[in-house]
Structure 1
Amino acid sequence: MKIAIVHDWLTTYAGSEKVLEQMLELFPEADLFSTVDFLSGKEREFLRGKEVHTSFIQKLPLAKKKYRQYLPLMPMAVEQFDLSSYDLILSSSHAVSKGVITGPGQLHISYVHSPIRYAWDLQHQYLKESGLHKGLKGMAAKWMLSRMRMWDYRTSNGVDHFLANSDFIASRIWKVYRRESQVIYPPVNVSAFAYHEAKDDFYLTASRMVPYKKMDLIVEAFSKMPDKKLVVIGDGPDMVKIREHAGDNIQIMGYQSDEVLIDHMQRAKAFVFAAEEDFGITVVEAQACGTPVIAYGRGGSLETIKGLRSSEPTGVFFEEQTVDSVMAGVQRYESESRRISPANCRKNAMTFTPEFFKRSLKAFIDEKLDASTSSDHRAQEMFRVL
């Protein structure tokens, strides 16, 4: 059986690439396709030397730094991949890879991290954050995203079975494509985040400093609580704004190595998270260290964190993405922290291991392959009768 794995783009080693890594471990003989491949030497180690088949976008001017600006060309790019010789196509998609062209004799299973966020329900937020919500550039961007939505919906018909990385994303898949999906939570390398019961007197937040992560809310909230220490790890375009909000009780460390991040995760009294994520790998990593989480109560966090209503809580939720709500969440945690044990945090994180992901994915694929084979046999028997 020939297998193709299709990924949106390879530019960094982040959440979707960690899913791809496990897919490649499960199917080491598979061929890999991606619109572009600009991974650096160390970042590409998870590919284990596998050749990447890229699209024409790889060779376009400035593609390495500005590949996202070629988004209008990406639907055409993935449609140019010739997958006609493959029996199983497994796409890992948060943008365009699910749109590859397949035939009736092929099985296409798409693991969806999210339908294209900036084309669907988060369109207005992304346009405002990019300064493209008005003017001629705004009109062009809105027209492009309208075309992208039509293409995205149409190509959902080419997927035989959808997998979602959370119930939150499964609801998005239904809303956008009107297709059912099965949830398989993404893999988290919890073994790299050693359990540490003793905690120091500081809170931690860590993320890329981009608008939707809402790091500025967390920093501003702690600036209004000068008796509480906050450590901030990460870098990105919002760094200047975040530094402007930081009080004397806040240490902004910028980008740090995994070793430094893990050390702080292990010692923090709680990890603070204000984004509405599809899943949220970082909050699972914090719990793997035995560290409770204070999180915005929307999206995947509701599935990866056990709130105070649980018999074994691992964190607390705040209700809104506002400074006051973050502050209320911290106060709630401090009043209820005795109920949240590091051991229960670790126990909860262990339900998201790579081994569990691979077992679940393989079982799903085997089931669908068996069903597809049985269907082919029935069709052949009917043809013989006729």
Structure 2
Amino acid sequence: MKVALIHDWLPFMGGGERVLTSFHELYPDAPIYTTICNKNRLDEPLKSANIITSNLQKNNKEIKNHRKLFPFMPTAIESFDLNKFDIVLSSSSSVAKGVITKPDTIHVCYCHSPMRYGWEFSHEYAGKMAGKGNLKAKVLGYFLTGIRLWDRTSSDRVDYFIANSQNVAKRIWKHYRRESVVIHPPVRCNLFNISNIDEEYFLVVSRLQEYKRIDLAIEVFNDLGLPLIIIGDGPDRKKLEAMAKDNIKFLGRETDEVIKEHYAKCRAFIFPGEEDFGITPLEAQASGRPVIAYGKGGALETVVDGITGIFFKEQTNDSLKNAVLKFENTKWDKNEIRNHALKFDEEIFKNKIYGYVNEKSKEHKNKMSNVGTVI
């Protein structure tokens, strides 16, 4: 059985790329098709994988802002010839699910999210992208209408959907009217460990983008004066650094070893944004550290309130501040927190994915053999 892996884009490592890494380890001989790829910014084993990019990437040059290419990505993902493959496994939060396959090929899509900027988050994204320009806003509105039509239509090309959370399963049903099973993303629990060293800082590990709401964490820790370390980079870094007082430190992009050490020694992990799932809270819990999280989205499926963390109900200064103060008066069991994270370990994830793809491959083959009645 020939297998192909599909991913939206590979500009750098993130949660979706960790999922793709697990897929690659399950199917090491499968080529990876994606719109663009910056190999020098990937971790092993993806860096040495057989990655095939679209014509959006010229001469293997690094793509510094892949978002500018988004209008061309639906066409780019459709350009791949996948006719020789029996199984296509896509990892999609945008265009990857739109690949075109032959009838006998089974396409299983692991959906991180329906296009966030195409559906219920479109007003938020459009306002930020268009700014104050009325003409630009109108043009962008027409474009988003078109992308929604493509997104809905391309969802019909998927034979079976896997959602990364119950939250995403609901959105898949709402926008695509498709059933899905839930298999939570993998956490490499063996990379993280409990430390007996308890330092005073709180921790954020995140891409520095607006919807992550790192600005809220900075506002609260500015007021409280407590030490906060922020690991990660992104388009909002300069703006966020300008907001921060001396008790807040930005480390930028760091190695896995540095991140692992900071998880293990922090007082708590701060997760102020709403995510469809969110891997970093589980990495913190795998290190035995509690999470202070916004109580919406995927965090509701990964954090146990009062046992492995604390929720704050509103994305406001007062709500997060009260959660931090509540954290100060709560006792935590590091081993209990880590044991909860072990339920999401990557080996469990791989076994579930492998079993599901095999099961549905047989089902699809039987279904296609019975299509069409000869009279």
| Normalised TM-score (structure 1) | 0.91
Aligned with 2:295 (options 289, 293, 297):
297
Query: 1:214-269 deviations in whole A, cap 9, x for unaligned?
Result: 1111111111113x332222333322332333234333333333322222211111
Query: 1:281-327 deviations in whole A, cap 9, x for unaligned?
Result: 1111111111000000011111111112xxxx100000111111110
* Residues in 2 aligned to 1:256 and 1:377: alpha-carbon distance in whole angstroms: 51
* Residues in 2 aligned to 1:255 and 1:84: alpha-carbon distance in whole angstroms: 39
Q: 1:54 to 1:240 in 2, by over 3 A?
A: closer
* Residues in 1 aligned to 2:358 and 2:60: alpha-carbon distance in whole angstroms: 42
| Maintained 8 Å contact 1:173/1:179 | yes
* Residues in 2 aligned to 1:181 and 1:111: alpha-carbon distance in whole angstroms: 9
Deviation at 1:157, TM superposition (A): 0.9
| Maintained 8 Å contact 1:231/1:252 | yes
Q: 1:273 to 1:109 in 2, by over 3 A?
A: same
* Residues in 2 aligned to 1:285 and 1:344: alpha-carbon distance in whole angstroms: 14
* Residues in 2 aligned to 1:81 and 1:333: alpha-carbon distance in whole angstroms: 50
Partner of 2:174: 175
- Residue aligned with 2:64, SS: helix
Aligned with 1:231 (options 219, 229, 232):
229
* Residues in 2 aligned to 1:150 and 1:143: alpha-carbon distance in whole angstroms: 11
| Maintained 8 Å contact 1:207/1:234 | yes
Deviation at 1:345, TM superposition (A): 1.1
* Residues in 2 aligned to 1:221 and 1:132: alpha-carbon distance in whole angstroms: 27
Moved more, 179-188 or 242-251: 242-251
Give the letter for the 1:96 counterpart. Answer: V
Q: 1:358 to 1:172 in 2, by over 3 A?
A: same
Moved more, 89-98 or 59-68: 59-68
1:23-102 equivalences in 2 (<5 Å) = 23-40=23-40, 43=42, 45-47=44-46, 49-59=48-58, 64-102=63-101
Q: 1:50 to 1:205 in 2, by over 3 A?
A: closer
| Maintained 8 Å contact 2:104/2:365 | no
Moved more, 97-106 or 277-286: 97-106
Deviation at 1:138, TM superposition (A): 1.9
Aligned length: 375
- Residue aligned with 2:361, SS: helix
Partner of 2:124: 125
| Maintained 8 Å contact 2:82/2:101 | yes
Deviation at 1:83, TM superposition (A): 1.2
Moved more, 103-112 or 144-153: 103-112
* Residues in 1 aligned to 2:238 and 2:252: alpha-carbon distance in whole angstroms: 11
Partner of 1:275: 273
Query: 1:85-116 deviations in whole A, cap 9, x for unaligned?
Result: 21111111111010111232221111111111
Deviation at 1:134, TM superposition (A): 3.8
| Maintained 8 Å contact 1:124/1:133 | no
Partner of 1:370: 362
1:1-386 equivalences in 2 (<5 Å) = 1-40=1-40, 43=42, 45-47=44-46, 49-59=48-58, 64-132=63-131, 134-226=133-225, 228-308=226-306, 313-335=307-329, 337-338=330-331, 340-378=332-370
Structure 1: unaligned runs, 5 residues or longer: none
Q: Which has the higher helix share?
A: 1
Q: 1:242 to 1:100 in 2, by over 3 A?
A: same
Query: 1:54-98 deviations in whole A, cap 9, x for unaligned?
Result: 211112998722332121111111111111221111111111010
Give the letter for the 1:9 counterpart. Answer: W
Give the letter for the 1:21 counterpart. Answer: T
* Residues in 2 aligned to 1:66 and 1:232: alpha-carbon distance in whole angstroms: 22
* Residues in 2 aligned to 1:201 and 1:223: alpha-carbon distance in whole angstroms: 15
Query: 1:136-171 deviations in whole A, cap 9, x for unaligned?
Result: 222222211111100010111111100011111111
- Residue aligned with 1:58, SS: coil
* Residues in 2 aligned to 1:276 and 1:121: alpha-carbon distance in whole angstroms: 13
| Maintained 8 Å contact 1:129/1:211 | no
- Residue aligned with 1:372, SS: helix
RMSD: 2.1
Report sequence identity in percent: 41
Deviation at 1:274, TM superposition (A): 0.2
| Maintained 8 Å contact 1:197/1:290 | no
- Residue aligned with 1:266, SS: helix
Q: 1:204 to 1:370 in 2, by over 3 A?
A: same
